[in-house]
Chains A and B, each alone.
Chain A
Amino acid sequence: MSSLVQLITRRGAQIVSGFLLSAAAFALPMPTGPVVLTISGNVGEANQGKTATFDMAMIEALPQRTFVTTTPWDKQPTKFTGPLLRDVLAAAKAKGKTLTALALNDYKTTIPVDDAQAFDVIVAHRINDQPISVRTKGPLFIIYPFDTKSELKTATYFGRSAWQLKSLTVD
């Protein structure tokens, strides 16, 4: 809720909040800020051509989840916050077997859609409660809850954890 308040506060005069909320409940709204995530492929709720696009406000509008986990890239356990991947996919009504994640630096990795159901994978936009800049692997970071299951602490899942996430393609 706090992020929603922030959102309203930040964008105050631009948009009628009631419209936005009702639109969000029934269909994917148009992004108003810079697009941070594009979902293409088998998308049921497109808002820009055949793709579903999200700005940071839309990401923050989805139900949030927070966990702390260790990662190979940090020396300390780190707190990650963001929507569950399955919620993001549901918002775009994306259906398929695999996701192809693409990062700003052209890093590409394939994620089975089942991972989104099997694990509480989130699309983090905050690390230690701070928004993630591009310099610190932001703005979006697919992160698995590595500490919950030992099977997750392998190169496969480390590889699927794409940072500087730019887009997802559903097949």
Chain B
Amino acid sequence: MPERLVSQRHLLWLALGTVMMAAAMAVLLLLQFTQQQAIRKSADLRSDSITALAFQLEREFLRLRHVLEVNARNTGPVDEQALLLRSDIFASRFQLMHDTPSASAVQEQIEYTRIMPRLQSLIAHIDAVLQPPAKPTRKELAQLVDELNSIGPEVQELTMVATRHTARLLEEQESTMLEQSSQIMALILGQLVFLLIAAVALALRQRRQEKERAALELLTQNLRAANLAAEAANRGKSQFLANMSHELRTPFNGVLGMLTMLERSPLSSSQQEFVLTARNSADHLLTLLNDILDVSAMETGKMSIHPVLVELGPLLTDVERLMRPLAEQKGLQFEIARASDLPPWVSADGTRLKQIVLNLVTNAIKFSDAGRVSLTIERHAAAPTIQPRGIYPLQITVADQGIGMDASTLARLFERFTQGDASTSRRFGGTGLGLEISRNLARRMGGDISVTSEPGHGSTFTVQLPLVMADAPEPRVQIAQDVAAITRPADVQGLRILVADDQAVNRKYMGALLQDMGHTTAFAENGEQAFAAATAETYDLVLMDLHMPVMDGFEATRRIRSNPGSALLPVIALTADVFAETRHKAAEAGMTAFISKPVNAGILQATMTDLFGMRGAPAQAGTRTESEPPTAVNVLPRQGTTTPAPPTPRKPRRRFRPGDLETHMDMKMVGEVCIGVSAQGYRSLLGTFFQDESGAMDALLGAMRTPGSAELSTTAHAFKGAAANLGFHRLAAMALLLEKAPPGSDTGLPSPDELLETWAMAHALCVRMGLTDIEALPERHLAAPNESGG
């Protein structure tokens, strides 16, 4: 504000100065003009001077008098001609004095008015004497001389008057000119002073501005430095966030994997619920981590779009399949409408496209309590009709009938960490990064996201993307879609799989997961080992971590591809990187498919089914019991550079069905025993029981295999007590039947095999639950099936 005032004052001074200068110039001009006029006047005066007129009059007057005197005094004849000439000339001078315009200057003077009539009468007198036919006499001439003499002083006086008059005029003009020139000088002096002041003021102002500019420069520099520092700090934070998120994913991988394993183990219903809750929380946490990674990628400029061939149909089906359950869970209607003219194949970053749609639909579901969520995929109606060749103006509309947003919320909507407001944030959770990420992605794809909403009436998000249409690929591209295996009819099994990962926990998890799926596994700790193993042994599949010491997954894959023996070996990339460029690089290195960590069992299963179909699935797949001996697990390549496989069960893993636990075990009883003797005590009891240290099982089996044995009832009773005490109520029930059976009758009684099978199941459940370390039942109980004829 003060600067503005100063500048205004400065302007005022400038205007004032200019006006003053202009006024001074005008006055100067006027003075010069009047001076010029004065000079002109004096020139006139010179050319036609009254002085000259008066002087000439007096001169002719004197010459006439002289001629008259000479003729009056001479004794000879009178020279009439000369007298006439002189009198004529004198009369002409009189006339000039009387008529000439310049004579008017003195016509007001008393001397002039007095003498002119006298001169007039004098001339009349002279004419009367001299003009023919009069003959002048000497006496008349003498009289004229007297007359002339008497008037002489006044004629002289007239000359004096004229001279004085001219002198006065000149004096007046002189003084006027002097006055004017002093005025001009004063004005010039004033202008000079003003100019000097203006120059000084300008110099001062210039200096002040210089100072201000320097200060501003300094300020700018400081600000720039501060900005750079702030940016560096911000970058550092982003980097830290990205690193942390990345680092978090590795242990988190383990957590998720183990959760998956846990899900696949026999669990009580309450345990299943616990696991489900843990799974949901983990999934949510994973989403958050992914969001943070995306945002840091955006900030560091690493988020890029890598278009590949994408089939729109399956992509949308996936979205529907993932979202419909969520919507239905909340009692919402979910509608999806696709335009009929959608191009089947487009060139786009399918993962990112799906991410946008999923984000918007998830939000719509999250912020709706009732009504309908609709997803519409169509041609953008308002788009220019003439599109560049091969461009499809896609419009995706996600509309809900949820809580909606007011204008101020809308304005902040796409900003970071923004949700509707603090209350919705508490109510609905989330990072608030999703929309920012989605919009950023859409913009990077050459489109944008817009939104309209009304509080209480829902929101409509519209994504507009110019998609590049593409032809369907000739051979089926082996890039696996992220399609979960839920819809798959059956799972592929029995593959020999090499897992390359430098993290022991990951190897363990993958091993467990794959073995659980019915595959055999071998392991490598880095790319070099993986390549060596892949060339030395025959595998169906390699699961390759990308970032490993010694040799990374890219290089290992390239080597596997270049080796004729393993060129066609499918390699699935595993990585925690979500960046599209990593996928791109993996595809370039020759990898067959790409699965992001943490590995989702469904996705892994689906990917493998995509690659292998139903190949290699054993006949018993899916059955509850597997009596076939386990496939030998050849984990060690000849070089011995791979790590040993984790302990694997001798048998293929049992498959538990929901309810198995309930059927076989009374967990309440188990709990009570544990309370009674502690878990350690229970473990000890189990060890005794399963190793049949008391021989109760042997005795019972012996009695059963001896028809009509009197021992049956007592041995069954003993076994029943042991089984019931440990909570094996199915075993106990079987023993009770045997105990109460009438001697000699075996109808409706369990066979020894059935008893053994139930025992084995109980054992397997305990092993699975980690209640016992006893890995195998005594051989004798298993080696002799069906020895008896029964």
A105 CA to B48 CA, complexed, in Å: 17
A30 to B549: give the CA distance in the assembly, Å. Answer: 148
> What mask results when residues 53 to 95 of chain B are scored 1 for a CB within 8 Å of chain A, else 0?
0001001100000000000000000000000010011011101
Complex CA distance for A134 and B101, rounded to whole angstroms: 20
The CA-CA distance from A158 to B47 in the complex, in Å, is 8
Whether A93 is near chain B, meaning CB under 8 Å from some CB there, is no
User: Is B192 close to A, CB under 8 A?
Assistant: no
| Chain B residues within 8 Å of A105, by CB | 56, 59-60, 89, 93
Contacts of B234 in A (CB 8 A): none
Q: Is B669 an interface residue (CB 8 A)?
A: no
Which of chain A's residues have a CB closer than 8 A to the CB of B100? Answer: 73
Q: Is the CB of B43 within 8 A of A133?
A: no
Interface magnitude class on chain B: 10 to 19
- A136 beta carbon closer than 8 Å to chain B: yes
Give the docked Cα–Cα distance between A136 and B88 (Å).
Answer: 9
Q: In the complex, how many angstroms separate the beta carbon of B460 from the nearest chain A beta carbon?
A: 92
**Given contact pairs A75-B101, A105-B56, A105-B60, A135 touches B92 in the complex (Cβ within 8 A):** yes
Q: In the complex, which residue of chain A has the Cβ closest to the Cβ of B92?
A: A135
B interface, CB within 8 angstroms of A: 43, 46-48, 56, 59-60, 85, 88-89, 91-93, 95-96, 99-101
Q: Is A7 an interface residue (CB 8 A)?
A: no
Residue on B nearest A75 in the bound complex, by CB: B101
The docked-state distance in angstroms from the alpha carbon of A105 to that of B43 is 24
Is B101 within 8 A of A135, CB to CB? no
A136 B48 Cβ-Cβ under 8 A: no
Top 10 nearest A-B pairs by Cβ distance? A134-B88, A155-B47, A135-B91, A135-B92, A135-B88, A105-B89, A104-B89, A72-B48, A134-B89, A134-B92
Please report which residues of chain A, range 140-168, place their CB below 8 angstroms from some CB of chain B when the two chains form the complex: 155, 158-159, 164
Q: Can you name 13 extra interface pairs (CB under 8 A) apart from A75-B101, A135-B95, A164-B89?
A: A73-B96, A73-B100, A104-B89, A105-B89, A134-B85, A134-B88, A134-B92, A135-B88, A135-B91, A136-B92, A137-B92, A158-B47, A164-B92
Chief secondary structure at chain A's binding surface = loop
Contacts of A135 in B (CB 8 A): 88, 91-92, 95
A37-69 contacts to B (CB < 8 Å): none
Nearest chain B CB to A38 CB, angstrom units: 15
Q: Which residues of A contact B91 (CB under 8 A)?
A: 134-135
11 A-B pairs, CB-CB below 8 angstroms? Answer: A72-B47, A72-B101, A75-B99, A133-B88, A134-B85, A134-B88, A134-B89, A135-B91, A136-B95, A137-B92, A158-B48
B56 closest partner in A (C-beta): A105
Instruction: Name the A residues within 8 Å of B92 (CB-CB).
Output: 134-137, 164
Q: Looking across the interface, which residue of chain B has its beta carbon closest to that of A139?
A: B88
Task: Kindly name the residue among A75, A134, A137, A158 whose own CB sees the greatest number of chain B CB atoms within 10 A.
Answer: A134
Q: In the bound complex, how far is the Cα of B93 from the Cα of A164, in angstroms?
A: 11
Contacts of A75 in B (CB 8 A): 99, 101
Closest beta carbon of chain B to A124's beta carbon, Å: 15
In the complex, A104 Cα to B86 Cα: how many Å? 9
Measured CB to CB, the nearest residue on chain B to A74 is B99
- Bound together, the chains give a CA A67 to CA B99 distance in angstroms of 23
A75 to B102, CA, bound (A): 11
Q: Which residue of A lies closest to B100 (CB)?
A: A73
Which size bracket describes the interface of A in this complex?
Answer: 10 to 19
| CA A135 to CA B96, docked complex, whole Å | 9
- Residues of A contacting B46 in the complex (Cβ-Cβ under 8 angstroms): 155
Q: Which residue of A lies closest to B127 (CB)?
A: A135
Q: How far is the CA of A25 from the CA of B552 in the complex (A)?
A: 139
User: A104 and B47: CB pair below 8 A?
Assistant: no
**CB-defined contacts of A73 to chain B, threshold 8 Å:** 96, 99-100
Closest-by-CB residue of A relative to B47 is A155
What are the residues of chain A within 8 A of B89 when measuring CB–CB? 104-105, 134, 164
A105 to B88, CA, bound (A): 10
Residues of A within 8 A of B48 (CB): 72, 158
Cα distance, A164 to B88, chains bound together (Å): 10
Tell me, in angstroms, the Cα distance from A158 to B102 when the chains sit together.
15
With CB as the reference atom, state the residue of chain B lying closest to A34. Answer: B81
Q: Once the chains are docked, how many angstroms separate the CA of A82 from the CA of B89?
A: 21
Q: Smallest CB–CB gap between B262 and chain A, Å?
A: 124
A155-B60 contact given A105-B89, A135-B91, CB 8 Å threshold: no
Distance of B204 from chain A, by nearest CB (Å):
56
CA distance A76 to B48 in the complex (A): 17
Distance A135 CA – B87 CA, assembled complex (angstroms)? 9
CB distance from A28 to the nearest CB of B (A): 24
CB-CB under 8 A from A155, the residues of chain B are 43, 46-47
- Complex Cα spacing A103 to B47, Å: 18
Which residues of A have CB within 8 Å of B99?
73, 75
Chain B positions within 8 Å of A136 at CB level: 92, 95
Chain A contacts for B60, CB-based, 8 A: 105
Q: How far is the CB of B66 from the nearest CB of chain A, in Å?
A: 13
Using a CB-CB cutoff of 8 Å, which residues 103-141 of chain A contact chain B?
104-105, 133-137
A74-93 contact mask (Cβ, 8 Å, vs B): 1 or 0: 01000000000000000000
Q: Which residues of B contact A158 (CB under 8 A)?
A: 47-48
B91 to chain A: closest residue by CB: A135
Closest Cβ–Cβ distance, residue B777 to chain A (whole Å): 147
Tell me, in angstroms, the Cα distance from A115 to B153 when the chains sit together: 43
Residues of B within 8 A of A137 (CB): 92
Who on chain B is nearest to A72 by CB? B48
Cα separation A159 to B46 with both chains bound (whole Å): 11
Residues of B within 8 A of A104 (CB): 85, 89
Min Cβ gap A104→B in Å is: 6
Determine the chain B residues whose CB is within 8 A of the CB of A159 once the complex forms: 47
Report how far A155 CA is from B43 CA in the complex, Å: 9
Contacts of B56 in A (CB 8 A): 105
A122 to B241, CA, bound (A): 117
Q: Which residues of B contact A134 (CB under 8 A)?
A: 85, 88-89, 91-92
Bound CA span A135–B124, Å: 13
In the assembled complex, the CB of A134 is this many whole angstroms from the nearest CB of chain B, namely: 3
Most chain B beta-carbon neighbours within 10 Å: one of A75, A105, A159: A105
- State in angstroms the CA–CA spacing of A73 and B92 once bound together: 12
Shortest CB distance A107–B (Å): 8
Contacts of A72 in B (CB 8 A): 47-48, 101
Give the distance in Å from the alpha carbon of A12 to the alpha carbon of B714 in the complex.
Answer: 209
Q: Nearest residue in B to A105 (C-beta to C-beta)?
A: B89
* Chain A residues, Cβ within 8 Å of B93: 105
A159 to B96, CA, bound (A): 16
Q: How far is the CB of B105 from chain A (nearest CB, A)?
A: 15
CB distance from A137 to the nearest CB of B (A): 6
Q: Which residues of B have CB within 8 Å of A164?
A: 89, 92
**Which of B85, B89, B95, B99 has the largest count of A CB atoms less than 10 A from its CB?**
B89
**Shortest distance from the beta carbon of A9 to any chain B beta carbon, whole Å:** 22
Cα of A137 to Cα of B59 in the assembled complex, Å:
16
Q: Which chain A residue lies CB-closest to B84? A: A134
A85 to B89, CA, bound (A): 24
B59 CB contacts on chain A under 8 angstroms: 105
Tell me which residues across on chain A come within 8 A of B101, comparing CB atoms: 72, 75
Cα-based distance from A158 to B43 in the complex (angstroms): 13
Chain B residue nearest to A158 (CB atoms) is B47
> Within the assembled complex, what's the spacing in Å between the Cα atoms of A154 and B121?
36
User: Once bound together, how far apart are the Cα atoms of A73 and B101, in whole Å?
Assistant: 7
The residue of chain A having its C-beta at the shortest distance from the C-beta of B88 within the complex is: A134
Distance A63 CA – B91 CA, assembled complex (angstroms): 31
Q: Kindly provide the distance from the CB of B229 to the nearest chain A CB, expressed in whole angstroms.
A: 85
Distance in angstroms between the alpha carbons of A31 and B158 in the assembled complex: 41
- State the CA gap A164–B43 with chains docked (Å): 25
Residues of A near B43 (CB, < 8 A) are 155
The smallest beta-carbon distance between B135 and chain A, in angstroms, is 20
B488–chain A nearest beta-carbon distance, Å: 119
Closest chain A residue to B59, Cβ basis: A105
Question: How many Å lie between the Cα of A158 and that of B101 in the bound state?
Answer: 15
Looking across the interface, which residue of chain A has its beta carbon closest to that of B123? A135
B338 smallest CB distance to A (angstroms): 100
Which A residue's beta carbon lies closest to that of B43? A155
Specify which chain A residues have a CB less than 8 angstroms from the CB of B95 in the assembled complex: 135-136
Distance between B708 CB and nearest chain A CB, rounded to angstroms: 170
